[in-house]
Chains A and B, each alone.
Chain A
Amino acid sequence: MGVGIKTRSGSGRVATARLSAQPGGPRSQWAAAFLAALPIVPRGVAARWRRAAAAPGEGEGRSAGVRRRRRAGGAMLRTSLRQVSAALKDGRVTPTELCQRCLALIKTTKFLNAYITVAEETALKQAEESEKRYKRGQPLGILDGIPIAVKDNFNTAGIETTCASNMLKGYISPYNATVVQKLLDQGAVLLGKTNLDEFAMGSGSTDGVFGPVRNPWSYSKQYKDKSVPKSHSEDEESNWVITGGSSGGSAAAVSSFTCFAALGSDTGGSTRNPAAHCGVVGLKPTYGLISRHGLIPLVNSMDVPGILTRCVDDAAVLLGSLAGHDPKDSTTIQDDFKPFEIPNLTDFSKLSIGIPKEYHAPGLSSEILALWSKAADLFKNAGAKVVEVSLPHTRYSIVCYHVLCTAEVASNMARFDGLEYGHRSDMKDSTESMYAATRREGFNDVVRGRILSGNYFLLKQNYEKYFVKAQKVRRLIANDFVKVFRSGVDILLTPTTLSDAALYTEFIQEDNRTRSAQDDILTQAANMAGLPAINVPTALSERGLPVGLQFIGRSFQEKQLLTVAKWFEKQVQFPVIQLEEVKRHDSGVFQHKKSASFS
C-alpha cells in the first residue's frame, strides 16, 4: 500500500494581501428597532448587539491602480461565497488572483495554526484550470474558482491526511473523500487541510499533534478593546482564546477570511461548537444526507460532514453541492436531494419554535441565557408561536454518548496497527509487541483512553450493561425529539455553547474528557437523533467574543431549518471581525511548534 513521503517544496511567491479594518457601515435599522422592542436586556449584551457592522462588501471606497485592486481583493476575501462567485463571474476578480490572495493571507495568519497542510501548488493549478473555464465562458457553477479548506480528517488524494495524529503523519491517501471529490468536480479550489483535535476527539482544537488552533477573534479589535492587559507581551501570549472544536481549524479559516467555506465534521458538536466560538455559520446536516465516504470516522453512527461558512446562504450553497446519495456510503439516503435557494421567511403564523427547557443547563452563562430569551422573543414578536418544550432524556446524553462514542472509537481505531499504512514502530520482538508500540507511539492519551474504555464497554460481560443500555437511552433521546416535533414544533432554538470561548490557558486546566463532556452538552443530542442543526452567530459577549445560537430541525428538513436560520441571521446582524493587527502578528512575535506547511 502506498504510504509515500511527501516532499515539501519551497513556498511559491505569492502576492501578499493585507487585512485592514473596514470602517463600520451604517447601523442596522433592525438593531435599533429590536432594542426598542426589548427593554429588558443585560447591559453588556445590549452593547454588543448594537455593534452591528457593515454587511460584507459594503461601504467600500474606490481608489486607483494597484492599490485599488489590492484593496478590492482584500475586501473581496471578506465577502460571502455567493458574492465572490458573482465577482468571478463578472470578471471583477480571477480565480488565480483569489487563490493567491487566500494563500497569502494563510501565510500572514499562520500563527493561528488553522492549517496543517497548505496545498499551494495544487490549489494554484486548480485555480488556473478554473480561470480557463471562466475565460471560455464555461464555469462549472457557483463553486468554480472558490477557495475552500477541508478538515484534515477527510481523505484528499495526493495531499497529506493526518487527523492531527502521529499515526497518520505523512499519510497520503490514494483517494478523495466523496465530499472533497464533489467540491473539486464543481471547480472549487482546495487550499489545504485544517487543524483539529487528534482524530476529531476534543472540543477545543487543542489536542492535535500540530498544536492548538488560535481563535482569530483573540486578535480582533472587538476582543482587544474589552480585555484589560496586564503587561503587554505577557498578555499577547496568554490572552488568546480557543476556537472550540474539533473542527477549530476550519472555523478559524473561515473566520479569518483565508477561505470562503470549509468542511468540518460533526459527531457531538464538532462543527457547531467552533462555529459558535469563531462567529461563523456551522451546519450539521441530517445524518445520511451527505456521504461519509472518505471521512476518517470518529463515531460512524453519528458522524456527519459539517459545513462552515460566513452566512446561512452560503451554507445552503455548500449543502446543495454536497448532499445526495453516494453508492459508496450505504447509510446515505436514496432519495434525490434538490438544491434550494433559501426563501424569505414571511409567514410566521405557521411557525412554531420550541424552547427545550433542559438546555437551560448548569453552567450556562447569564449573557447567553439572556441572548437566548431575547431570540425567543424576537420570534414571538414576529408572530411565531414560541413554546417551551421538554426533552427529558437530554440529561443522559453525555454519559450515553461516552459509551457509544468510545465503543465505536475502540472498533474504528483497531485498523491502525502499523501494517498497511501510517506509523509503524521499530519494535520487532513480535507482531503483538509491534502493534502495541505502534499504537502507543501513534495515538495521544485522549485516543488511547477512549480505546481503552470502549473496549471495556464492549467486553462480553459488560456489553448488555453498558453498550446495549446506551443504545436504548439513545433511542429515548431520539424519541424525545420525535415527540416534540410531532406536537407541532417546527424548529428548536437552543444555545450552542454554555459560554464564549475560553482562554487557552484556562481551557487546558481541565482534561479533554471533562471538556468534551461539558462542551458537547448542548450539541450532541442532535447527533444522537441524527437531526440537522445549525449554529448562527448571534452577538458578541461582554469579552468581545462571538456567541451563537443553535437551531435544530426535523430530519431532512434542511430547507425549513435554513429558512428560519437565515431570517434570524438577518435580524441579529452579527458584526464582522476586525482583524487590524494581522500584519504585526505575522512579524514573528509568536513562536509556534508547527503551523502551516506548504506543499
Chain B
Amino acid sequence: MAAAVAMAARGCGGVWRRARQRGAGQPGPGPGPFPRGQRAVACNARGGAVPAGKSGLVPWVPVVGLEIHAQISSNSKLFSGSQVQFAAPPNSLVSFFDASLPGTLPVLNRRCVEAAVMTGLALNCSINKKSLFDRKHYFYADLPAGYQITQQRVPIAVNGSLSYSLCIDNKMSQMVTKTVRIKQIQLEQDSGKSLHDDTRSQTLVDLNRAGVGLMEVVMEPDMCCGEEAAAAVRELQLILQTLGSSQAVMAEGQLRVDANVSVHHPGEPYGVRTEVKNINSIRFLAKAIDYEIQRQIEELENGGTILNETRAFDSKLGCTVPMRDKEGKQDYRFMPEPNLPPLILYDAKSLPANMNHQQVINIDWIHERLPDLPSVKRKKLVEQYGILPEHSFTLLNEDGLAEFFESVVKQTQMKPKKVIGWILKDLLSYLKQHSLTVKESPVSSFLLADLLNLLEKKEISSPAAKQVFMELWKGEGKTPLEIVKEQKLGLLQDQKELEQICQAVIDGQENEVMAIKAGNQKVLNKLIGLVQKKTEGRSNPVLVKQLLEKKLSE
C-alpha cells in the first residue's frame, strides 16, 4: 500500500501538481508504478521550452468515477433456475435459457431484486417503484443471446450516497469522512467466460457465469485519487457483505471495479476521460487510478491529448495500457426487453390489499429488516467499548474480527481498551503473517479470553502471556493454564523466594547499588531486568520494584 498512500498524501487535497515537484525534495513513491526515468527526460525537455511557472505550478484536478459490478449472492441466476457457484466444472451450471436456446424466456429471480433493493436502501438511494429491463446488444462468444438484459432506461435504484473514511498523511489517527454520490444501481446479467487458447487458436467458452445476477453501482465522479476510490470501494464491499447482497470478493470476481479517470485545470471543464478496467484488488485499484492520473497529466503537459479509450491495468508492470476494446465504438442498439413486464415494487402505502405476499416486494418491509451497516457498527463499538475510532475501522475491515473482539471482551475481566491491543497487535499481526482469516485463527476467542484472564489476575506477566500466545498459535489443543504450568511461566507467588533473588541481585551489583544510592534511579531498571532474567520472566515487575526499593532503602 506504500506507493498509493504516498500518492494519496499528495493528492487528496484535491489538487495535483506536476510530478516534477517530487524532485524538489519530496520523497518518491518508492517502487511505484511510474516510469520515472522516462518522465524526467520528458520534463526536462519540456521545461526548457515552457515558462517554469506554467509547466510546473498550474495545478491539475483529477476526477475519478467508478462503475462497480457486484455479483449478487443468490442460489440461482437472475433469470433462470441454474445454480450460482464459483469454480464449478465448466458449463455445469447452464440452463436452456442461459445458453439462449431459442424459445426460452427470462423469469426474474425475486432474491436478486431483494438484494438490489437492500443495497439501494443501504446506499441511501430512492428505490424506483417501477423499473424497466432493456437489451444491450453486442456479439461476443460468452454472451450467448447476443444481448445482455440490463436496466438502461429506468434502473431499480437512483440518487444515493456513500460515506467513507480515509486517513490523511498515512496516520490512522487522522481520518476524514467523505461522500460519493451514487448515480444508480441497475440489475443486469453477467456474461460467461471466454478462455483463449492461443497455441491451438481456440476460444473455449464457459457459461457457468452467464446470467448470474449483477448489481451495477454507478458512482459519480466525486473522487480525486486512488486512495479515495479504494476507501469508497472498501466501504461498499463491507456494506454488501453486511447485507449479504454480495459476497463481494474481488479475487473471485464478485466485485469488479472499472474506474473513469480524467484531469483538468481548476475552473475548466472536465477533461477527456479514460476507462480503466482489469483491476482485481483494492490495492491495484488505487495504484491503477494514481498511475492513470499521473499519465494523463504528463501526456497533457507534454502537449499530447487524452483519448476516450478503455485501458487495462497491468498489475505486473504497475501501469495502464490501451485495451483492444471488444466493444470499441459499438452502438449497443438498446431496446426494451419485451419478455419482462415492468418491475413493480410496493411500499406500505401502495401495497394493494388482497395481494399475494409471495408475488410482491415491499420496500418498507425490507427497510425495517436491514442489518446494522458498518458505519453504525463502528459507532457502536466506539461508544460501547471506548476504543478509538480508527480501531473500529480495523475491527470491521477484517471479516469476523469485530465479532471476535466482542466475544473476547464478554469472556474476560480485562478492559476492552486493553483487549483491543491484543486483538490488533497480536492476533491480527499473526493472522496477517500467516495469511489467515479470522475464522481460520488457531487461537479461538475463548482461549484468548482465558489467557487475558490469567494476565488480568496477575498470574502471569505480560511477556509470559506473549509466550503463551505463541504456544497457543501452534494449535496443539492446550489451554493457556496448561501451557503456563508446563513451561513454568506462572509468576513466583512465593514472596520469600523472590526476596531472596532480589537480595542476591543487590549483593552481586555493588556498582549499580552505589549509583542508585547516589540518586540515579534509572539504574534500578537494570536491577529489575536482572531479577526478571533470573526468574525467567516469572516475576511481577511491579512487585520486584517494590522489593528492590525497600531493600535498597534499608
Whether a CB of chain A sits under 8 angstroms from the CB of B333 is: yes
| A-B contacts besides A174-B101, A328-B107, A330-B341, 12 pairs, CB < 8 Å | A1-B101, A155-B103, A173-B102, A293-B104, A301-B338, A331-B105, A414-B139, A416-B102, A417-B139, A420-B100, A420-B101, A460-B331
11 A/B residue pairs, CB under 8 Å, sorted by A = A154-B103, A294-B104, A328-B105, A331-B340, A334-B359, A407-B335, A415-B102, A417-B146, A421-B99, A421-B102, A458-B335
**Least CB distance, A175 to chain B, in whole angstroms:** 6
Report the separation of the CA atoms of residues A125 and B107 in the bound assembly, to the nearest whole angstrom.
Answer: 34
Report the separation of the CA atoms of residues A417 and B139 in the bound assembly, to the nearest whole angstrom.
Answer: 8
Q: Known contacts being A459-B331, A460-B331, is A414 close to B145, with CB within 8 Å? A: yes
- The secondary-structure label for the interface of chain B is loop
Whether a CB of chain B sits under 8 angstroms from the CB of A297 is: yes
- B356 nearest in chain A by CB position: A334
Contact B335 A297 (CB under 8 A): no
Report the separation of the CA atoms of residues A247 and B103 in the bound assembly, to the nearest whole angstrom.
Answer: 17
Within 8 A of A (CB), among B258-293: none
Within 8 A of B (CB), among A129-178: 154-155, 161, 163, 168, 173-175, 177
Whether a CB of chain B sits under 8 angstroms from the CB of A327 is: yes
Contact B99 A432 (CB under 8 A): no
Q: Which residues from chain A sit less than 8 Å from chain B, CB to CB?
A: 1, 154-155, 161, 163, 168, 173-175, 177, 292-297, 299-301, 327-331, 334, 407-408, 410-411, 413-417, 419-421, 431-432, 435, 455, 458-460, 463, 467
Q: Which 3 A-B pairs have the closest CB atoms?
A: A414-B146, A458-B333, A300-B338
Most interface-central of B102, B108, B135, B144 (chain A CB within 10 A): B102
Q: Which residues from chain B sit less than 8 Å from chain A, CB to CB?
A: 96, 99-108, 135, 137, 139, 141, 144-147, 203, 205, 331-335, 338-341, 359
Report the separation of the CA atoms of residues A163 and B145 in the bound assembly, to the nearest whole angstrom.
Answer: 18
Report the separation of the CA atoms of residues A292 and B137 in the bound assembly, to the nearest whole angstrom.
Answer: 22
Report the separation of the CA atoms of residues A173 and B100 in the bound assembly, to the nearest whole angstrom.
Answer: 12
Contact B139 A435 (CB under 8 A): yes
Contact B340 A330 (CB under 8 A): yes
Contact B339 A411 (CB under 8 A): no
Contact A1 B99 (CB under 8 A): yes
Query: What are the residues of chain B within 8 A of A296 when measuring CB–CB?
Result: 102-103
Query: What are the residues of chain B within 8 A of A301 when measuring CB–CB?
Result: 338
Query: What are the residues of chain B within 8 A of A173 when measuring CB–CB?
Result: 101-103
- The secondary-structure label for the interface of chain A is loop
Contact B103 A295 (CB under 8 A): yes
Contact B96 A414 (CB under 8 A): no
Report the separation of the CA atoms of residues A168 and B101 in the bound assembly, to the nearest whole angstrom.
Answer: 11
Query: What are the residues of chain A within 8 A of B135 when measuring CB–CB?
Result: 411
Contact A331 B341 (CB under 8 A): yes
Q: Known contacts being A175-B96, A300-B338, is A420 close to B105, with CB within 8 Å? A: no
Report the separation of the CA atoms of residues A417 and B138 in the bound assembly, to the nearest whole angstrom.
Answer: 11
Query: What are the residues of chain A within 8 A of B104 when measuring CB–CB?
Result: 293-294
- A428 nearest in chain B by CB position: B201
- A419 nearest in chain B by CB position: B141
Report the separation of the CA atoms of residues A173 and B339 in the bound assembly, to the nearest whole angstrom.
Answer: 20
Q: Known contacts being A175-B96, A431-B203, A459-B333, is A415 close to B359, with CB within 8 Å? A: no
- A459 nearest in chain B by CB position: B331
Contact B108 A330 (CB under 8 A): yes
- B339 nearest in chain A by CB position: A300
**Least CB distance, B94 to chain A, in whole angstroms:** 8
Report the separation of the CA atoms of residues A416 and B146 in the bound assembly, to the nearest whole angstrom.
Answer: 8
Query: What are the residues of chain B within 8 A of A432 when measuring CB–CB?
Result: 139
Report the separation of the CA atoms of residues A417 and B146 in the bound assembly, to the nearest whole angstrom.
Answer: 8
Report the separation of the CA atoms of residues A183 and B379 in the bound assembly, to the nearest whole angstrom.
Answer: 63
Report the separation of the CA atoms of residues A553 and B338 in the bound assembly, to the nearest whole angstrom.
Answer: 23
Contact A463 B144 (CB under 8 A): no
Query: What are the residues of chain A within 8 A of B96 when measuring CB–CB?
Result: 174-175
**Least CB distance, A462 to chain B, in whole angstroms:** 9
Query: What are the residues of chain A within 8 A of B203 when measuring CB–CB?
Result: 431
- A435 nearest in chain B by CB position: B139
Query: What are the residues of chain B within 8 A of A292 when measuring CB–CB?
Result: 105
Choose one: A330, A460, A467; the contact of B339 (CB below 8 Å). A330
**Least CB distance, A453 to chain B, in whole angstroms:** 12
**Least CB distance, B169 to chain A, in whole angstroms:** 47
Contact B334 A458 (CB under 8 A): yes
Query: What are the residues of chain A within 8 A of B106 when measuring CB–CB?
Result: 330
Contact B103 A293 (CB under 8 A): yes
Contact B103 A419 (CB under 8 A): no
**Least CB distance, A120 to chain B, in whole angstroms:** 24
Report the separation of the CA atoms of residues A453 and B475 in the bound assembly, to the nearest whole angstrom.
Answer: 70
Contact B341 A297 (CB under 8 A): no
